[in-house]
Structure 1
Amino acid sequence: MSHPAATTRVRSAPGTVGLISNPSSGHNRGQFEHICKQIAQHPLIHHRITRSSADILNVLEEFAALDLKILAINGGDGTVSAILGELLEKRPLPALPQIALLPGGTANMNAGDIGVRGSLRKAVDRFCQWSTTQGAGGDIAKRALMRVVIEDSAAPRYGMFLGGGAVIHGTEYAHREIHSRGLRDDFSLALGTLRTVWGVLRDDPAFNRHITTTLTLDDGVPATHDSLILTLSTLHRLAFGMQPFWSDEPGSIRLTLMEQGCTRFARTFLSIVRGRPNSNAVPASGYHSHNADRITLQMSGNLNLDGELLDVDGQIAITASPELEFLRL
């Protein structure tokens, strides 16, 4: 059984609102001018545009002088991870603000779980209206991020979703065959997932590549698996409502691993992503789910961290960050 969503009904304290937009993110392209006009009608929002990751720290330092209480992000999962990574790693603000996520990217998995609902224009309008009332309505959801350190890498990375094995090939297919045709959000991810499942069932080498993974949870004993699907996240709900984690163990990072050769794959996979794992979803059948605050992977292959492809050949250390408060509207 997955953890219940950690949300509470609150009225946020009044304070300065800052918004960072990435105009290159999926849904921003083609309608960013209109979005900017929407935001400009609400002078309480301090809107800044970043065109590369090098701009992020300067904007956050500018916001520090404004005594920021709410930080909104208009971009995709990668933009969110880059901004929150700088916020957590560099600590440019005197205190961590509440975070509001707008679905400006292609997939918007993070915003789908803990962000502002609706299409980008509707979400921006809802957030702008909320900013004038300073907290009328809305929930606060608490989530950590994963701090990811690759062996011999210069700097840590942050993210809320990490996937390997068939996840990589499904992502590649979605970018090549689905997103390129203008399909985005949950529908595109659902199509990519279904195509991945079909590829695994047909033993298609384009989708059925697996990786040898040695996994250590917190201070536990390392265990090696031939991993078909590897998923880690601090989110409670993934794309199109998937809830593929069922462990009741303590820990902010949630992990599901399906081994190569896992039995009754199609039926068990569908039960897992619906959040109702069937009786076959057990380690003896090749299905594992755990929660932890520290996870170490030893592997050689690719991982998808919130849309960024990581090439790993050695050890990767994953720890849970302090929790942030996310405004859900």
Structure 2
Amino acid sequence: MVAPSRIHSLETGTARIGLILNPLGGQARKRHHAIKQILTELPDILQWEAINASDFDASVKALIQAKIDWLIIIGGDGTFQGILNRLFAWLSPNQWPVLTIIPGGTTNMTALDLGSRDKPDHILQRLKHYLQQPAPRPAPLLVERPVLCIEQTGHEKVYGMFFGLGMIARGVKFSRSRIKQTGITGNIFTALVVLRSLLGTFLGRPQPEWAPAQITTVDEAGVKHQENYLLVLVSALEQLLMGIRPYWGQESAPLHVTFVRQHSRKFWYSIWPLIAGHGHSLKKEHGYVSYNTQMLELSLEDEYIVDGELFHASRQHGPLRITTSGPITFLVL
């Protein structure tokens, strides 16, 4: 949780503010001129542009050294994921600034879940108006979310808001090489990725790029179970892109987990309940499982995604362990 002094500085107008812009994000590219114009009108904000790993390193380190109270990120899920991992690596939780995500990427799942649903330049106009208000300012709208922490022996920890396996990872990999080059963004981009994944499943493609994920899990009794899954998702968000909520567990725990087994019964009839938040009608014996948990361990040899970024898990390094960190505090404009 963010230190109370950060919140006080926002309300009194004394906050030190930093901003990182990824100008190559899908929405940021489309609104580039308007974004740059507004940013020139905010000279008191320490501003950085970041498009690659070295840029992220330099900008986050500079903003930490400046002891900012509020960090504004204009970018998509991948940009936020990159900055998030550096913050966890270099700052203790009580030193974190308040975060704001302005949706500037091709996909903006975290920003949308937090309530930031407008064009980036429109949100920046609201930021400008907020900063022009005399102190004391109205109390800001703050939202807290836990963060996924993915660990495997021999690898650095990966932090993010959404983890996906199977057709989710296959679809994202395909999108990075094909659809993304068209410049399509937002929900249309997401719909095309999902459609391509479903077509690969429907056609029964034997190619590795559409193979199910083979996963070994261990139950509470210590018994191992190996199964093939069309998809596995783990999220700390309340809803995903296009407003879907494909999990229906009732347990009081921060990780939302859903498994869909290969050859699950009535898969095509089950797509709508899955994406419309009516998964409670789906049955475990038919291949649909969803629950909330504090921790998940998976043994696999496959690719997975975290917030749209691809990683690889190997059985030789032991199980992939997913827990939560945080919560972290967001300010929504």
Contact 1:174 1:189 in 2 (8 A): no
Report SS of the residue matched to 1:261.
coil
Alignment-derived partner of residue 312 in structure 1: 313
Structure-2 change in CA distance of 1:58 and 1:210 (3 Å) = same
Contact 1:230 1:255 (8 Å CA) reproduced? yes
For the structure 1 residues 132 and 105, does the alpha-carbon distance in structure 2 shift closer, same or farther, using more than 3 Å as the test? same
Query: Hey, what's the Cα distance between the residues in 1 that align with 2:192 and 2:151?
Result: 31
Distance change in 2, residues 1:222/1:321 (3 Å): farther
More displaced 10-residue stretch of structure 1: 282-291 or 55-64: 55-64
Mark the runs of 5 or more structure 2 residues left unpaired by the alignment.
1-6
Query: Is 1:38 matched with 2:38?
Result: yes
Measured on the aligned residues, the alpha-carbon RMSD in Å equals 2.7
CA distance in 2, matches of 1:159, 1:35: 26
Residue in 2 aligned with 1:226?
228
Number of equivalenced pairs: 318
Counterpart for residue 327 of structure 1:
331
Contact 1:216 1:295 in 2 (8 A): no
Question: Counterparts of 1:138 and 1:223 in 2: how far apart (Å)?
Answer: 47
Which stretch of the first structure deviates more once superposed, 78-87 or 254-263?
Answer: 78-87
User: What pairs with 1:81-160 in structure 2 (closer than 5 Å)?
Assistant: 81-91=81-91, 95-114=95-114, 116-133=116-133, 136=138, 139-153=141-155, 155-160=156-161
Question: How far apart, CA to CA, are the structure 2 residues paired with 1:250 and 1:221?
Answer: 24
Displacement of 1:67: 4.0
1:160-309 matched pairs, under 5 angstroms: 160-205=161-206, 208-216=210-218, 222-277=224-279, 279=281, 281-309=282-310
Instruction: Decide which moves more: 227-236 or 86-95.
Output: 86-95
In the superposition, relative to structure 1, how do residues 264 and 131 fare at CA in structure 2: closer, same or farther (>3 Å)? Answer: farther
Confirm or deny that 1:49 pairs with 2:53.
no
SS in 1 for 2:26: coil
| 3-state SS in 2 of match to 1:263 | coil
Mark the CA change 1:278 to 1:122 in structure 2 (over 3 Å): closer, same or farther.
Answer: same
Distance in 2 of aligned mates of 1:86 and 1:22: 16
- Determine the structure 2 residue equivalent to 1:5: none
Q: Secondary structure at the match of 1:68?
A: coil
CA distance in 1, matches of 2:222, 2:271: 27
Q: Please name the residue that 1:69 is paired with.
A: 69
Post-superposition CA distance 1:101-138 (Å, at most 9, x none): 01111111111112532122223323333333486476
Q: Would you say the 8 A contact 2:149–2:160 is kept in 1?
A: yes
Q: Is the 8 A contact 1:16 1:45 kept in 2?
A: yes
SS of aligned partner of 1:28:
helix
Q: Secondary structure at the match of 1:168?
A: helix
Counterparts of 2:128 and 2:218, CA distance in 1: 44
Determine which of 11, 14, 19 is the counterpart of 1:13: 11
Counterpart CA distance in 2 for 1:322 and 1:266 is: 37
* Higher helix proportion (structure 1 or 2): 2
Contact 2:173 2:310 in 1 (8 A): no
1:62 and 1:190 map into 2 onto residues whose CA distance is 38
Superposed CA deviations along residues 245-282 of structure 1, whole A, max 9, x for unmatched, are 11011322211110001111122121121111252x12
Q: Which residue of 2 aligns with 1:4?
A: none
State the Cα distance separating 1:229 from its structure 2 match. 0.6
